[in-house]
Structure 1
Amino acid sequence: MANKKPTILVTDDEKSIRNSLSEILEFEQYNVLQAEGGETALQQIRESKVDLVILDIKMKGMDGIEVLENIRETHPDLPVIMISGHGTIKIAVQATKIGAFDFIEKPPDLNRLLISVRNALSRNELVEENKRIRSELNNVKEMVGESPAIARIKKTIEKVAPSTSRILITGENGTGKELVARWIHEKSKRASKKFVDVNCAAIPSELLESELFGHEKGAFTGASDRRIGKFEQADGGTLFLDEIGDMSPDAQAKVLRVLQENQITRVGGNERIDVDVRVICATNRDLEEEIRENRFREDLYHRINVIPIKLPPLRERKDDIPLLARWFLSQLSDKEIIYAGKSFTDDALEELKSHQWSGNIRELQNAVERMALLSDGESIDRDDVTHLGSMKTGTKSDLKELAEQSLSFQEYKEQAERYYLLNKLEEHDWNVSATADAIDIQRSHIYNKMKKYDIER
């Protein structure tokens, strides 16, 4: 706000009042827009960047209270100063409860009005700064891409974020489901509260209930203290249930009950605790197929699938690959000096577009880091991208080199197995359940091998 003059929208059905207030505010170096009624005001807010609204209560058509309610729904952080020539304590209290920043009677006292305007704009600036800092702390980035599919998703997010509707994000591993969930939270009315995420696939089913709802001291062996669950931690904010398709039937039933009643009970407890949580879910599974196979509850599916958002795989948005590659490279340059000055040649970017990227955005991000680290000079060229493909697929020369380095057949097998497992985990965005399904072994076996080979993300 320091770089530009704030814009104030004056809404009043009396032209003389609008002009008078506009002259005063323009003299104080503010940009001023005018609206003669509620509908026009809401349109101005939709189409222009407005920092403050001065709003008359009694107007023809839509009155000020209705306009205020609408603004609170669509732009919860936009400050509104109400003015009225028929001021009563009852109206002032009503406006304040709805969310008005201040209430001033007509004709407004000039000093009182300007002080209120300055205070409202200062608060708005603090809110925006708070959001920016929170976004940086949470490492929340906006979606990179200009393809039609991404443009549609961005538009959907802008529409649904201010609501409290539940959202189901679907898509392959590595397509950015958690990023979308965090972005929705940052643009919602709950942005000042916590964003709590739970990876349902990474928590053993016998521990998931305690993780979600908490437990009381002594509820089970090892429960030495009371524990607050994720639903309580997210009270007033957003709970992100990632990989909900991997949730056990028992946990599904209990989550459904919470969504119906907005209450939880800790494991080993009797007290019913109210929770106000917006739930966003994500999965890489086809839940409708899971329902047909009796692995997912249909009633829970309809509870969480109010607003569906399906993320396209990277191979269906290839024009976004150069943008993403450059963006990932710039992020590396900002973090570490060894990547500074690196750039892609046009041929390299075209070669990147020819790859299938089964691991989607996560795979591309890791590939950019490898190429930036291993490439000679400041340019990442087509040969670097081609070499990346041979590294991924495992050529005869790679296997020959591994054989020559190994001291025994057992060591060769173990090194090859470790390499294979790392490759598959990366391909599936380190989702152990998805990796287990893809290579047809039990999830517990993957955890055992990760421990054996000291594999960490």
Structure 2
Amino acid sequence: MNGRILLIDDNEDYCRQVQKTLALREMNVVYFTNGAEGLEHALNNDWGVILLDVYLNQQIDGLEILKRIVEKKSQIPVIMISGASTLQIAVEATKKGAYDFLEKPLDVDRLVITINRALEKYSLTQLSQNLLDELGKGLRMVGRSSSLSRILDDVERIARTDSKVLICGESGVGKDIVARLIHYKSQRENRPFVSVNCAAIPETLIETELFGYVEGAFTGANQNNSGYIAEAENGTLFLDEIGELPTSAQAKLLIFLNDGTYTPVGSTESRQSNVRIIAATNKNLENEVKLGNFREDLYYRLNVFKVHIPALRERPEDIEPLALYFLQRACNKFGKRITHFSEEAMDIILKQRWQGNVRQLKSAVYRMVLFCNDSMINYGTAAMAIQMDRTNELVSVPGPYQTALEEFEKLYFLNQLNLFGWDLSKVAEAVRLPKKDLAKKLEQLGLVHDKDRELIAY
């Protein structure tokens, strides 16, 4: 955690007193009595939190310094302090991006608590941003299909603009990765990327989650909440599953998209926002408009640039490079040394339809790596991992009992076959079936012992 504290106040005696008081609590304070000099150091050095006096008897005042800090380093919490504060000044400072507002003379305990909370927030924000940066630098759309090449060309072209983007495609195709690629290739790359799953927010909370709320706006609102839009200021707001947004919330979002202004719940003051909007959906929004489930004006407002990501089964040439990529990632994660897939293993991977798309393929390959105790993923390991995925899918959705029973049997016998290296005599003994009956059962389930044939018939 960066615990360095910058204090900007024109009273040197007061600065020394604060510095000494916080030093007793093992807090490192650097102060400047000149506002312009303090601003320069605020922008050019790393700080965990900034204490800033509102009234500086100089050419530049505290609110102007606050504005410039927020413009350049919006992640750093700025605590405003004043000996002659009014509610209007406090509101104005909050609107300009202040983390909190404290009155002089400062209550030491409250000051320490506020600083610690601000430092904690900054630490979490930096951790989140560092993870996103690490992810962003390593983001890859893996494949060799012409459709993927077109998508990557679109990303490069769109990233140079600041227009709204609508990303369409089935679940699991990588819509979130395309959104992040656009962000990290844009001029906003060093600003926040805030992802919002519209389907996961209850309808009654969507407005407060997006626009935030002020203290006292409703029962339980004990403090201000900035909301997702404010968190994404100067960066990108990614609205995932936009097709799940209730019509009541669609109207409010449309108003925000028209001019970038919004009003937190319980407030009478509107705020101007500077965020880029990227939305994604697995629905056909044109059909949803015809059905009356999605506002036509909102659809056209979002659909400035449209990126369609085809399902994995529509670009089969991407399956093998993706499987090899996930093999490498999984080996790094689990500390294993697996160099490749056998021809038979890759063959069965290529023959799947991958209804869950890239996400399902990744899950299956990671499971193969966990099951594998050799330097190569073989036929049986790949088949068992894929079958386990199919079985788990059947458990989670409605379906006929007989179908589920057959899939469980496949998984059971595949596991037994792998345990005994496909020695049918040993498997028959273990499962307590005559070898002839076992062979017949395997044939019924679509499992065969001949490795020159398909292992599982789907």
Could you say which TM-score interval applies, normalised by the shorter chain?
Answer: 0.5 to 0.7
One-letter amino acid matched to 2:156: E
Counterparts of 1:10-25 in structure 2, within 5 Å, are none
Closer, same or farther in 2 for the Cα pair 1:303/1:148, shift >3 Å? same
1:147 maps to which residue? 145
> Is 1:374 the equivalent of 2:374?
no
| Maintained 8 Å contact 1:149/1:312 | yes
Partner of 2:241: 243
Question: What is the aligned residue count?
Answer: 272
Which of 308, 311, 318 matches 2:309? 311
State the shift of 1:402 in Å.
11
Asked if 1:209 is matched to 2:197, the reply is no
Shift of 1:386: 2.4
Residue in 2 that maps onto 1:199: 197
Matched residues, percent identical? Answer: 42
Separation of aligned partners in 2, 1:350 and 1:399? 23
Q: Which amino acid aligns with 1:352?
A: I
**Deviation of the 1:137 alpha carbon:** 5.1
TM normalised by structure 2 equals 0.57
How far apart are residue 207 of structure 1 and its match?
Answer: 0.6
Matched position secondary structure for 1:240:
strand
Offset of 1:349 from its aligned partner?
A: 1.7
Alignment map for 1:101-250 (pairs within 5 Å): 135-136=133-134, 140-250=138-248
Q: SS in structure 2 opposite 1:279?
A: strand
- Partner of residue 336 from structure 1, selected from 334, 340, 364: 334
1:340-380 per-position Cα deviation (integer Å, ceiling 9, x unaligned): 23421233222211101010011000000111111342211
Secondary structure of the structure 1 residue equivalent to 2:160: coil
- Find the counterpart in structure 2 of residue 352 from structure 1: 349
Q: Of the candidates 351, 360, 365, which is equivalent to residue 362 of structure 2?
A: 365
User: Aligned AA for 1:365?
Assistant: K
Give the 3-state SS of the residue equivalent to 2:194 in structure 1: strand
- Find the residue that maps to 1:281 and give its secondary structure: strand
From 387, 392, 400, give the equivalent of 2:389. 392
Q: Which amino acid aligns with 1:357?
A: W
Q: Which amino acid aligns with 1:379?
A: M
Deviation at 1:140, TM superposition (A): 4.8
SS in 1 for 2:195: strand
Supply the distance in 2 between the matched residues of 1:259 and 1:294 (Cα, whole angstroms). Answer: 20
C-alpha RMSD of matched pairs (Å): 2.2
1:140 and 1:182 in contact (8 A); partners too: no
Contact kept in structure 2, 1:342 and 1:372, CA below 8 Å: no
TM-superposed deviation, 1:134: 5.8
Kindly tell me: are residues 209 and 140 of structure 1, through their superposed partners in 2, closer, same or farther at Cα, counting changes over 3 Å?
Answer: farther
In the other structure, the counterpart of 2:294 is 296
Normalising by the residue count of structure 1, what TM-score does the alignment of the two structures yield?
A: 0.57
Pairwise CA distance, 1:399: 4.1
Gaps of 5+ in 1: 1-130, 404-457
Which amino acid is 1:229 matched to?
G
Distance 2:246 2:147 in 1: 32
Q: What's the CA shift for 1:400?
A: 6.3
User: How far apart are the structure 2 equivalents of 1:219 and 1:307?
Assistant: 37
Paired residues of 2:237 and 2:275 also in contact (CA < 8 A): yes
Question: Which letter maps to 2:288?
Answer: E
Deviations 1:226-252 (A, max 9, x none): 000111111111000000000011111
Say whether the 8 Å CA contact 1:241–1:280 is kept in structure 2: yes
Counterpart secondary structure, 1:227: coil
Cα pair distance change 1:151/1:398, threshold 3 Å: closer
Query: What is the alpha-carbon distance in structure 2 between the residues aligned to residue 351 and residue 400 of structure 1?
Result: 19
Separation of aligned partners in 2, 1:298 and 1:311: 22
Alignment CA distance shift 1:402-1:316 (3 Å) = closer
Where does structure 1 differ by over 6 angstroms across 4 or more consecutive aligned residues?
A: 400-403
Structure 2: distance between partners of 1:392 and 1:137: 26
Structure 2 SS opposite 1:201: helix
* Equivalent position of 2:279 in the other structure: 281
